[in-house]
Amino acid sequence: MNGGPDAAQTQSDVLQERIEALLRPRVESLVSGMVVGAVLSVALLRVYPWPTVLVWFAGICVVQLGLSTWFKLTWFRPVQIHNPVRAGHRYVLDVAMAGLYWGVSLAFLVRPEDIATQVAMALAIGGMAVGSNTIHAYHRPAMYTFLLCLVLPFALRVLMVDDFIHRYLGVGMLLLIVYLAVYGRVHSLTLERSIWIRHENRSLLAQLQQERETALKLQAIAEAANLSKSRFFAGASHDLRQPLQAMGLYASVLEGSALPTELQQVSHRIGESVRLLEDLFEGVMDTARIEAGGMQIHEEPVDVKQLMDRAMLLFGGEALDKGLSIKCVASKHWVLGDRLALQRVISNLVSNAVRHTQSGRILLGCRRKGAHLRLMVYDTGPGISDASQGLIFEDFFRLESAGGAGFGLGLATVKRLCDAAGYSLGLCSKLNRGSVFWVELPRCDAPEKSVLQVASTSLLDTDFSQNILVVEDDPAARGGLETLLRAWGHSCIAVEDGDQAILLVRQQPEHWSVVISDYNLPGGMNGLALIEILRTVVPHPLNALLISGAMDQSLHEQAQAMGVIAMAKPVRPIQLRSVLTSMSV
């Protein structure tokens, strides 16, 4: 029970509680002492005159009620001990006086010829000794003192009588002292240990409560940080979507232009790179949402070949620059998963392979596993030791062979995305042989041609010229959208705010068939409010498309309630053309 940083304080608290329990008034103790004295008085009346017995019994009452000053002072008020050590010493003195009165007075009353009365005395003393052990177990010095003062004088007196019976009785009383001292010590130690444990538990509970309060404060700080981070990414998302929107629109215009064959290939790669950048941007936003606990998984059939082709497009050039052979085994399989999360996962795995492979090759492929498909990225890099394989997906963990490449976040992001989406993730690696990372998903059938795919084929050559009003405050996005719509054969005018749009429509209300508006407009008017005003001016049904860099479920629902199509930036040109085609039908 000794040791620990708070052992001294705990020991002091235990002593305080023991002394307070010792000095707590007990009616049963007072009554039992008087009852024993009264019963013994009846036995003494056989030998001694009643005045002698009455004086002796009055002394017993004084001892029980008055001699112990602690009982007298604390009987009508709670025990409050300011110095437990001093209070313990004072109590030892009190019980010594009480024990001596019992023992010495009965020793003087011994008559050798009256064995029966001496046996009665011995029984009374033994009963008092046994009863006192339970009370005095809180303080061993008091227990030993009372036991000796109570029993020893009587035992020595009967031993002085020169016959077998008295000596037998005296030895028995001495053995009673030894037995009660040993038993009382064991009981006292057990009682002290239970008090000690209770105080330690209280200390642990207080420490646990303090740690819980600290944890709650840290949790509140973390939640505030997450909220701040979410707000930051929401603002960054809107600001970053604007240039992506413009890039995508201009790239689409370039792809649709009549160019020489070599430039057509270049424009196609530019367009594909922009589309991949848009997907990666969404992946970054999803990773931020994972950290904030707000990522939503949208499961759909995903073309495995398209995933791997895009990863090849992004990292193939870097691999070739390093002299690596990179190959994708064509696959016609489809899996059920979140397209953007999967693109991010495969891209990160390929990027990791290119970064850590100095010679040899990289292979992208897949393998069936029952009803699942395992997407795999092989490399001939340095490999990963068994000890490091359990840490490779941790934040900021980098292999010694990495030579400072990367920040140790790519594979950690892969792990987070797979955990959030419920994908199985694994690796197999041997030192100096290479590694294979894999992610496993359920297989599914290829979907029928979607509306967007139809738009990318048959609708591209359809003549569906319309009079379109574009309202967009970002100059680059506004110019790109206007250029693209005109390239598609539409009559288009683009303005930067709602006031210009209203003025233009009022001049020619019958002219306009479609309005495309950003949600966040300058001047305090949002896109939905503008569309509602324009529909009151135009005499015929006005088709409307709302685009926003901060599109959420609430905004979708508001637009749907007004019969407005809502799309999040960056809007894919093929998606935009599909929507406009449906409006012309």
Whose structure tokens read 């000890």? Answer: 387
Q: What is the pLDDT of residue 447?
A: 83
Residue 232 lies in a domain: no
DSSP 172-239: HHHHHHHHHHHHHHHHHHHHHHHHHHHHHHHHHHHHHHHHHHHHHHHHHHHHHHHHHHHHHHHHHHHH
Integer CA distances (angstroms), 527 to 234, 499, 517, 534, 565, in order: 19, 12, 6, 10, 12
Which residues make beta-bridge pairs with 367?
374
Domain contains 262? no
- Three-state DSSP state, 298: coil
The three-state secondary structure class of 545 is strand
Q: How far apart are CA 256 and CA 519, in angstroms?
A: 28
429 shares its domain with 521: no
**What whole-number distance in Å separates Cα of residue 403 and Cα of residue 381?**
13
Beta bridge partners of 230: none
Query: Phi then psi for 375, rounded to 5 degrees?
Result: -85, 125
In three-state secondary structure terms, 68 is coil
Q: Is the pTM of this model over 0.75?
A: no
Q: What is the Cα–Cα distance from 141 to 88, expressed in whole angstroms?
A: 9
Query: What pLDDT sits at residue 365?
Result: 92
Q: Which distant-in-sequence residues (6+ apart) come within 8 Å of 143 by Cβ?
A: 132, 133, 136, 137, 181, 184, 188
Place of tokens 């193939």: 316
Q: What are residue 435's DSSP bridge partners?
A: 379, 429
Q: Where are the beta strands (DSSP E) in 477-548?
A: 491-495, 514-518, 543-548
CATH number at residue 408: 3.30.565.10
Within a domain: 245: no
Q: Are residues 203 and 332 in the same domain?
A: no
User: Domain for residue 248, yes or no?
Assistant: no
On whether residue 263 sits in a domain, the answer given is no
Give the CATH number, domain containing residue 510: 3.40.50.2300
Q: Are residues 492 and 406 both part of a single domain?
A: no
Q: How big is the chain, counted in residues?
A: 585
Residues in Cβ contact with 267 at an 8 Å cutoff, skipping those fewer than 6 apart: 251, 254, 255, 257, 259
Question: What is the domain range of residue 399?
Answer: 298-444
Whether 570 and 489 map to the same domain: the answer is yes
From 165, 194, 209, the end of a domain falls on 209
Q: Is residue 283 part of a domain?
A: no
Same domain, 311 and 170: no
Q: Does 377 share its domain with 353?
A: yes
User: Quick one: 488 and 549 in the same domain?
Assistant: yes
Confirm if 272 and 343 have CB atoms less than 8 A apart.
no
Which of 209, 238, 261 is the last residue in one of the domains? 209
* Residues 354 and 319 placed together within one structural domain of the fold: yes
Same domain, 415 and 505: no
Count of domains for the chain? 3
CA distance 467 to 174: 120
Listed residues 209, 225, 243: the one ending a domain: 209
Closest CA to 376 of 413, 416, 429, 417: 429
41, containing H or E segment: helix 27-44
The DSSP secondary-structure symbol of 524 reads G
Residue 378 lies in a domain: yes
pLDDT by residue for the chain (585 residues), tens only, comes to: 555 446 666 666 667 777 776 766 556 666 777 888 888 888 888 888 999 889 988 888 887 775 454 444 444 444 456 677 787 778 788 888 888 888 898 888 888 888 888 888 889 888 888 888 877 777 888 889 989 998 999 999 989 988 888 889 989 999 999 999 898 888 888 887 887 778 778 878 888 888 888 888 888 887 777 677 666 666 666 566 667 666 766 767 766 676 676 666 767 777 777 766 766 666 566 666 666 665 667 788 999 988 888 788 778 877 888 889 999 886 788 999 988 788 888 988 998 888 888 899 999 999 999 999 999 999 998 888 887 777 777 766 666 555 444 445 678 888 888 888 889 999 998 888 899 999 999 999 888 754 444 444 444 444 568 899 999 988 888 888 888 888 888 999 999 999 999 999 999 999 999 999 999 898 888 999 999 999 999 999 999 999 887 777 788 888 888 989 888 787 778 778 878 887 775
348 and 410 share one domain: yes
b/e burial code for range 458-476 (CB count within 10 A of at least 16 → b):
ebeeeeeebebbbbbbbee
| In a shared domain, residues 12 and 144 | yes
User: By the 8 A CB rule, do 314 and 276 touch?
Assistant: yes
Identify any residues that bridge with 235 across adjacent strands, giving them in sequence order.
none
Determine contact, residues 78/84, Cβ cutoff 8 Å: no
Is 390 within 8 Å of 354 (Cβ atoms)? no
pLDDT of residue 197: 79
Residue 239 belongs to some domain of the structure: no
For residues 421 and 470, membership in a common domain is answered with no
Q: What is the 3-state secondary structure (H, E, C) of 325-391?
A: EEEECCCCCEEEECHHHHHHHHHHHHHHHHHHCCCCEEEEEEEEECCEEEEEEEECCCCCCHHHHCC
Please tell me whether residue 81 adopts helix, strand or coil conformation. Answer: coil
